[in-house]
């Protein structure tokens, strides 16, 4: 009980988003963190280095981001909820092992606090340039989940949700924050442990002799035995059968495993996707935004309403899987859609794909400064 009380710092706090994410991870049951320092995500690692010993966990600084992601996979297979945190260049280095986590169906969480790129770019400035990399960064077909917080409170809440989704679907989940949300300090409320919903991976209900590690239940997710629990099995990134044995030359095995690791997310998308809708009932101009940009968009939409313009906000909380059906519904109603992003055009392409005949206007901004409400309002007025 004493350890649990240290794990959840219940009450009202004033902290930055990176620290809040670390506290969310601990509240979700994370007891292993591996990472490498990188701006603007280092505060996550610093907080975990401080807090892990207090809750009986382990925090280790690895030699690089490749090793960090590998360590997270190993810890998860050893039965521990595990996380890493990084930004731009480090996220790129993690991609091969994120693909390994997808293929081996390893529950884990990656916090990516986005900065301006490419390459070293703007280490201390915000960007939203990793959103496509989050989905398509590793090679091959797979599906992951990415959540996009817009506040310090959501850095806490969505990190918990990331662990819950990861444990439910045996999949890497990315908390895709931007530098502003990671570094801003705000008031947050941390609930008592009994008010925090925590999900743990489902375990085998059969004997070790009967266990097939990659045989799914009806929800397409296999129960997960961990190393040291008496079950013997293979865990490999190669194409494998339900026992985990490599079957690299089998078209049938490749079709079965890859289709299922995609379908377990796609067919459960309605259970996963989270969005926030503001004043959409009669909206003729809809702003689709995420992260820090959505906060400016909300202010712009409210000011537009004061001017008699029927504007509304559709905020993406779950970025991947993308809410195709919900965006299509918005597009059917709206006269036009405005997409402000801190990049040269990424999520706007997804909106265009779904919206079809509804005009989609793109409002890009680079350089590390978020859109101002006045900039989005002016775009609304011109639409």
Percent of the chain with pLDDT over 90: 97
Task: Check residue 383 and give its pLDDT.
Answer: 87
- In DSSP terms, 220 is beta-bridged to none
Q: Return d(Cα 211, Cα 206) in angstroms, integer.
A: 6
Burial of 223 (0-12, 13-18, 19+ CB in 10 A): middle
Tell me which residue of 342, 345, 273, 344 sits closest to 314, measured CA to CA: 273
Task: Check residue 182 and give its pLDDT.
Answer: 98
Residue whose token pair is 């490498």: 36
Q: pLDDT tier at 24 (50, 70, 90 boundaries)? A: very high
Question: Across residues 44-57, what is the average pLDDT?
Answer: 97
Q: Please check the confidence at residue 70 and state whether its pLDDT lies above 90.
A: yes
Task: Check residue 151 and give its pLDDT.
Answer: 98
Task: Check residue 1 and give its pLDDT.
Answer: 37
Question: Across residues 175-202, what is the average pLDDT?
Answer: 97
Question: Across residues 163-168, what is the average pLDDT?
Answer: 98
- Burial per residue of 308-326, b for 16 or more beta-carbon CB atoms within 10 angstroms, e otherwise: ebbbbbbbbbbbbbbbeeb
Q: pLDDT tier at 6 (50, 70, 90 boundaries)? A: confident
Residue whose token pair is 């239940």: 217
Question: Across residues 195-210, what is the average pLDDT?
Answer: 96
Burial of 96 (0-12, 13-18, 19+ CB in 10 A): middle
Q: Please check the confidence at residue 30 and state whether its pLDDT lies above 70.
A: yes
Burial of 244 (0-12, 13-18, 19+ CB in 10 A): middle
Q: Please check the confidence at residue 137 and state whether its pLDDT lies above 50.
A: yes
* pTM summary value: 0.96
Q: Where are the alpha helices (DSSP H) in the chain?
A: 2-7, 17-28, 42-51, 65-77, 88-103, 131-136, 152-169, 179-183, 251-266, 269-272, 291-306, 324-333, 347-355, 373-382
- Higher model confidence: residue 172 or residue 235? 172
Question: Across residues 80-89, what is the average pLDDT?
Answer: 98
Q: Return d(Cα 357, Cα 352) in angstroms, integer.
A: 9
Average pLDDT, the chain: 96
Q: Tell me: the pLDDT tens digits for 265-300?
A: 999 999 999 999 999 999 999 999 999 999 999 999
Q: Return d(Cα 193, Cα 332) in angstroms, integer.
A: 42
- Burial per residue of 109-125, b for 16 or more beta-carbon CB atoms within 10 angstroms, e otherwise: bbbbbbbbbeeeebbeb
Task: Check residue 234 and give its pLDDT.
Answer: 87
CATH architecture of 275-382: 3-Layer(aba) Sandwich (3.40)
Q: Is the peptide bond before 15 cis (omega within 30 degrees of 0)?
A: no
Q: Return d(Cα 349, Cα 355) in angstroms, integer.
A: 10
Q: Where does CATH 3.40.50.920 sit in the chain?
A: 275-382
Contact 100, 266 (CB under 8 A): no
Using alpha carbons, list the distances in angstroms from residue 382 to 304, 314, 336, 378. Answer: 11, 19, 11, 6
- In DSSP terms, 186 is beta-bridged to 15
Per the CATH hierarchy, to which homologous superfamily does domain 2-195 belong?
A: Thiamin diphosphate (ThDP)-binding fold, Pyr/PP domains (3.40.50.970)
Task: Check residue 2 and give its pLDDT.
Answer: 42
Residue whose token pair is 């095995």: 253
Task: Check residue 244 and give its pLDDT.
Answer: 93
Question: Across residues 48-63, what is the average pLDDT?
Answer: 97
Q: Where does CATH 3.40.50.970 sit in the chain?
A: 2-195
Task: Check residue 233 and give its pLDDT.
Answer: 86
Question: Across residues 89-98, what is the average pLDDT?
Answer: 98
Q: Return d(Cα 127, Cα 180) in angstroms, integer.
A: 9
Q: Tell me: the pLDDT tens digits for 309-363?
A: 999 999 999 999 999 999 999 999 999 999 999 999 999 999 999 998 999 999 9
């Amino acid at each position: 009980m004493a350890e649990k009380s240290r794990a959840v710092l219940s009450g009202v706090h004033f902290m930055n988003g990176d620290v809040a994410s670390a506290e969310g991870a601990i509240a979700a049951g994370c007891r292993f963190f591996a990472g490498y320092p990188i701006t603007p995500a280092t505060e996550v690692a610093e907080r975990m280095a401080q807090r892990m010993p207090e809750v009986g966990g382990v925090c280790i600084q690895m030699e690089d981001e490749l090793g960090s992601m590998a360590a997270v996979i190993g810890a998860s297979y050893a039965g521990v909820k595990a996380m890493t945190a990084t930004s731009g260049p480090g996220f790129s280095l993690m991609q091969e092992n994120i693909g390994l986590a997808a293929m081996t169906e390893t529950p884990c969480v990656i916090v990516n606090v986005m900065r301006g790129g490419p390459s070293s770019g703007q280490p201390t400035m915000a960007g939203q340039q990793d959103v496509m990399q989050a989905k398509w960064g590793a090679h091959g077909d797979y599906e992951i989940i990415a959540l996009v917080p817009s506040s310090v409170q959501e850095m806490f809440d969505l990190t918990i949700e990331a662990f819950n989704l990861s444990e439910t679907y045996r999949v890497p989940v990315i908390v895709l924050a931007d530098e502003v949300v990671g570094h801003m300090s705000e008031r947050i409320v941390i609930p008592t442990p009994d008010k925090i919903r925590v999900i743990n991976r489902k375990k085998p209900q059969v004997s070790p002799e009967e266990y097939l590690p990659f045989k799914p239940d009806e929800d397409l997710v296999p129960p997960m035995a961990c190393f040291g629990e008496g079950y013997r099995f293979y865990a490999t990134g190669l194409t494998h059968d339900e026992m985990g044995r490599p079957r690299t030359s089998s078209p049938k095995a490749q079709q079965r495993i890859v289709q299922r690791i995609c379908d377990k997310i796609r067919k459960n998308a309605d259970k996963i996707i989270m969005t926030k809708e503001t004043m959409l009932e009669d909206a003729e101009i809809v702003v689709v935004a995420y992260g820090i940009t959505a906060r400016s968009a909300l202010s712009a939409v409210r000011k537009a309403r004061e001017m008699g313009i029927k504007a509304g906000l559709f905020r993406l909380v779950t970025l991947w899987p993308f809410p195709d059906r919900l965006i299509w519904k918005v597009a059917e109603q709206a006269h036009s859609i405005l997409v402000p992003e801190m990049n040269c055009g990424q999520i706007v392409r997804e909106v265009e794909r779904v919206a079809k005949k509804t005009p989609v206007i793109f409002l890009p901004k680079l350089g590390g400064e978020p859109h101002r409400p006045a900039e989005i309002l002016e775009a609304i007025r011109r639409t």
